[in-house]
Amino acid sequence: MQCGASYGLDEVLSAPGVPHCRCGGIIKPDVVLYEEPLDETIWRGAQEAVAEADVMLVGGTSLSVYPAAGLIQLFSGEPLVLINKSATPYDSRANLLICGSIGQVLSKVVERLNG
């Protein structure tokens, strides 16, 4: 995305081959991919939010990909809740550690809350 134009899933899926924008750029999801730089303003905002948070729930990550994994080091509140299928370097710091898929765990939480 060079021009910032946004496309719906239907338009992307119906494109022959690699979907291209009107401006000639390649259309990609609006997420940060591996080895892409993080937006400085968003990154600073995330750091501030974590530093001020009372509760932190982290899920679906091995907490081994930096710099995002380093956010947890800025958290000084309690509780820290970790949900992941495998061990993370921060398991010993967690107040609540749930071993499982984030999708399955949160689905059950929602079921409980609704039922």
Q: Which residues here bind Zn ion, judged by CB under 5 A? A: 3, 5, 21, 23, 25
For the CB of residue 12, give the shortest distance to Zn ion in the complex, in Å. 13
Nearest CB to Zn ion, comparing residues 21 and 57:
21
For the CB of residue 22, give the shortest distance to Zn ion in the complex, in Å. 6
71 in Cβ contact with 50 (< 8 Å): yes
Got the DSSP string for the chain?
Answer: --S-----HHHHHTSSSS-B-TTSPBP--SSPPTTPPPPHHHHHHHHHHHHH-S-EEEES--S-STTGGGGGGG--SS-EEEEESS--TTGGG-SEEEES-HHHHHHHHHHHHH-
For the CB of residue 24, give the shortest distance to Zn ion in the complex, in Å. 7
Nearest CB to Zn ion, comparing residues 24 and 37:
24
Nearest CB to Zn ion, comparing residues 15 and 110:
15
Q: Return the structure tokens found at 44.
A: 């600073």
Nearest CB to Zn ion, comparing residues 12 and 87:
12
For the CB of residue 27, give the shortest distance to Zn ion in the complex, in Å. 8
